[in-house]
Amino acid sequence: MLDFNHRPKLHEQIGELIDAALSRERSAQAPRHYLGASRLGVACERALQYEYLHATVDPGRKIPGRILRVFEVGHALEELAIRWLRLAGFDLYTQKASGGQFGFSVAGGRIQGHVDGVIQAAPAELGLQGPALWECKTMNDKSWRETVKLGVARSKPIYSAQMAVYQAYMEGSIPGISTQPALFTAINKDSQEIWFEAVPFDGALAQRMSDRAVRVLRAAESGELLPRHTTTPTHVECKFCPWQDRCWSGQ
């Protein structure tokens, strides 16, 4: 007699089909052959080097379908934020007149960045001037509240570094974007609360991140393995690194 108690439930079956489809879709995407500005602020330069070289991730550490769904929800909320800001009177551009995202490419295309948008003008009562970089992130409730309490520079240094690099490298194509504070937007995915923060350009941070990018590129080309960020594999950042086993086994 068949034991129907062991059959997967309908919601599990459909969820598995969706996650498998998202994983296949991601695997079919062409890998990018450049350092992304959004990643330059990660804590570990060796992890950044592995990422740039497309090092094979440890078994069982590929991004699961559930996280891919989280990414897609974030993209959808970003589109809503664009709509909300425009309705509120912001002159916000997310595409160039010729098409495609605003961004930059330097070092022979080996360092690139694509920004969420550029604010040309804002409601007069806010006192914000354009052109200003616009960067949007979505977060769970805990992360969002930490960002509100501490500010993006302290709570999410990777985002702060991302904005500084964007402002520095896009000054040539959009004069003035580094003289005006960027508008950082964080959406709480649990409550839909929104946090807005004006972030002044940090030239020293942008320079440090640019120097870091050069180090990663040079190490990748010479075969040098950059130092780890930590001294133990049990550090929280190592525990969640896709290359933890590779890194600590000496591969």
Domain that holds residue 201: 10-249
> 4 lies in a domain?
no
Is residue 5 included in any domain, yes or no?
no
Does residue 22 form part of some domain?
yes
Model confidence pLDDT, tens digit, residues 216-241:
999 999 989 998 888 888 888 888 88
| 4 neighbors 43 (Cβ within 8 angstroms) | no
pLDDT tens profile 1-52: 455 566 778 988 898 899 899 988 888 888 888 889 999 999 889 989 988 9
What would the pLDDT profile of 61-86 be if each residue is shown by its tens digit?
Answer: 888 888 889 888 989 999 999 999 99
pTM: 0.88
What CATH number did the domain enclosing 157 receive?
A: 3.90.320.10
Instruction: Taking the CA atoms of 194, 197, 201 and 206 in sequence, report the sign of the dihedral they define.
Output: negative
CA–CA dist 137, 144 (Å, integer): 10
The span from the CA of 79 to the CA of 22, in Å, is 20
In a domain, 2, yes or no: no
70 in a domain, yes or no?
yes
Task: Look at the chain and report how many structural domains it folds into.
Answer: 1
Does residue 205 lie within any of the structural domains? yes
In a domain, 109, yes or no: yes
Is residue 91 assigned to a domain?
Answer: yes
Tell me how far apart the alpha carbons of residues 117 and 103 are, in angstroms, rounded to a whole number. Answer: 9
